[in-house]
Each structure stands twice: as C-alpha cells, then as structure tokens.
Amino acid sequence: MVNSGLRQLSVSEINVRLYIAKGGYNLSLEIDLIIIGGGVAGLSAAIQGAKLGLETMILERKNVGGKAIDAYVIKDYPGLTQISGAKLISNMKKQALENGVRIKELEEALKIDAFNDKTRVISSKDIYFVKSIIIATGGRYKKLGVPGEEEFIGKGVFHSITSSGLSFKGKNVAVVGCGDIAVLNALTLANLDANVYLICSENKLQVIDVLRRKVLRSKIKVLLNTNVISIDGDSFVRKITLFDKEINKTIELEIDGVFVALGIEPESDIAKQIGVSIDKNGYIVVDKKQRTNIPGIFAAGNVTNGILKVAVSIGEGATAAISAYEYIKGVKVYGKN
C-alpha cells in the first residue's frame, strides 16, 4: 500500500525494533481499517466498516466530534427536522461502539509508512499495522489574523455557535464572513435575539438566494466591503475596529462577541507526507469512490471538499469504508469501479 521509500521515521528504527522485541506489537497482526479523524465522516466510515465485518479503529487527536459537535443546531440532515451537533455525535459514537469499533481518543496519528513490507500508522501512543486507511481529518477554522483574535478566543471570540449563543440575547454581536456558514451563524444569533452585525469583506454575500432573502427579511445589519482591523477589550471583547473600503474610513463598533465564520482549511498534512495527491487548495484528491492515488488509502469529509454539510461527510465516510472493504477483500460490492 505504501512505498517504504516515501519518508523517514521520526521514531528511530532502533526504538521501533526495541518496541517489537518487548512485545509492543506483532508483525503478523494487521488491523483491517484505521480511520484517522473522528468527525462525522470518520464515525460514518467506522460504522459502515464495522457493519461490513472489518476490524475498525478510529484515531482522534482530540475527542470525537470534529466541527459538527460545535454546531448549535443541524437542520440539513435528512429525516431529522433538527438536532444539535453534540447529540448527533453522541448517537454516532454510541452506534460505532455498539458495532465493535475501537475508538482511540486523545491519540494523534503522526505518520504513515511501510515497515517490513507492511503499512503502519505511528501514533502519539502506539504503532499499528493496517490493511487500509481512511483519512478523515477534516479542517481547521480559518482565522482573521488580526490583533486581539488569539487573545480573546473563548473570551468573546468564537468560531462556532454552541450554547455560547444563548448568552448573547439582547447584546451586540459581530459575525465575520461572506459565505453560507457566516449567514447561518448570523441568522441563528438573530433568532436568539442578539443584535447582529454581519461583516463581509466583499461587495456581496457569497450565498444561495434562499439565505440572501432570509438575511434581507431579518434585522441583521450587513456591512459589505468592510474589513476587521482589530478586536479589543479587557477581560472580554468590548469593541472591534473596522475599515469601510467604500468610504475609506475606519469605524469602531461596541461589541460583546465576535464569531469568525470564514470557513475551514483542510488538515491534509499527513496525506501530503506520504505522497497522496493534493489540489491547489490543500484538499485531498479522490475519485467517486473516495479512493486516493495510493491504493489502500482513502479519504472522506471536509478534508476532500470543503463542503461543510453533515450529510455530505456522512455519505463520503460510508462510501470510503465500502471501498476499503473492496480493496481488502478484492471484491466489488456495489456499482462500477
């Protein structure tokens, strides 16, 4: 699956050999499927893989949930009018465990390489031999990169609306971004009776017509062609400084919270290290069956497309698991290659 000449180990070969000698792992044992990342794509892949009879493990450097767990409410999942991100993740985790998936939280996959003609995953806690891998590492929130942003994270600066949104009733809140996620956040906060400013650096919102009409019908104050210059406060955010490009003027707004909703950038570093094809924006390139250019390595979710839709990630995760099963067993389960 992985060419042994692709990369060097950060863990020395001496230490690895000692680890084997002490019974750390058995070269003859291979896990069928390791999924790197425990968001909705990873959990979906794990559930499908386990149902297909594969020995399946998730490696998640934090706790399972990914970006979805931060969602105050999810309304685009078929069959459910709405559900909180935390509840959806709780349900998926329970289902994965009930199907025999081994979930390793707080364990980061550091490297993928070949050893003695076998593919292995080196994590922050262990070393595993594996027959197939699904990379479902998702993405990290894009940042504004302005003074005060890092300083006030969790103290008035947020990247998602969880229960924190409830505390902004009747208060002034800024949502920064031009896309669907920014608008959805702004609408959610407005529905929670916050006074919302939607700050977009472009000359129009980059959203579907349905969302644009909802904004127009709301009390949201939209500031176009406006950049955030800085975020200021004391122990908590108190104001933001803006630059209006149309009138070439600096503006200050008294504000109680800032939600940065610029989207995500893919966390594809582990894929790059082993030669998986990456596009110009950093997303992993896959075919319609979630296969990468390296046999036995698949990818799913936000790391492949940047489409922040739970339903899309869940579908891709299931597809990747089916493809992994086909690869391991040498059979075709569904459809065409």
Burial 115-147 (b: 16+ CB within 10 A, else e): beebbbbbbeeebbbbbbbbbbbbbebeebebe
Tell me how far apart the alpha carbons of residues 145 and 271 are, in angstroms, rounded to a whole number.
26
CATH of the domain at 126: 3.50.50.60
The pLDDT assigned to 5 comes to 43
135 and 277 share one domain: yes
82 and 161 share one domain: no
Instruction: Show which of 260, 285, 313 is a domain's final residue.
Output: 260
Total tally of structural domains belonging to the chain: 2
pLDDT band at 164 (very low <50, low <70, confident <90, very high): low
199 and 232 share one domain: yes
282 and 247 share one domain: no
204 and 170 share one domain: yes
Residue 290 lies in a domain: yes
Residue 1 lies in a domain: no
64 and 90 share one domain: yes
Residue 6 lies in a domain: no
- Give the pTM: 0.88
Instruction: Show which of 210, 245, 260 is a domain's final residue.
Output: 260
255 and 293 share one domain: no
28 and 87 share one domain: yes
Residue 2 lies in a domain: no
Segment 224-259, tens digit of pLDDT: 999 999 999 999 999 999 999 999 999 999 999 999
255 and 268 share one domain: no
User: Which residue in 229, 178, 174 sits closest to 202, CA to CA?
Assistant: 178
Domain containing residue 252:
157-260
Segment 13-67, tens digit of pLDDT: 445 555 555 555 555 578 999 999 999 999 999 999 999 999 999 999 999 999 8
Segment 167-192, tens digit of pLDDT: 888 999 999 999 999 999 999 999 98
Residue 39 lies in a domain: yes
Segment 63-100, tens digit of pLDDT: 999 989 888 788 888 998 999 999 999 999 999 999 99
113 and 79 share one domain: yes
User: Which residue in 74, 77, 78, 95 sits closest to 86, CA to CA?
Assistant: 74
Residue 121 lies in a domain: yes
Does the pLDDT at position 12 exceed 50?
no
How far apart, in Å, are the Cα atoms of 217 and each of 190, 211, 212, 221, 245?
A: 11, 10, 9, 11, 25
113 and 170 share one domain: no
The pLDDT assigned to 22 comes to 55
Residue 276 lies in a domain: yes
Instruction: Show which of 202, 235, 260 is a domain's final residue.
Output: 260
Residue 147 lies in a domain: no
Segment 99-109, tens digit of pLDDT: 999 999 999 99
Does the pLDDT at position 7 exceed 50?
no
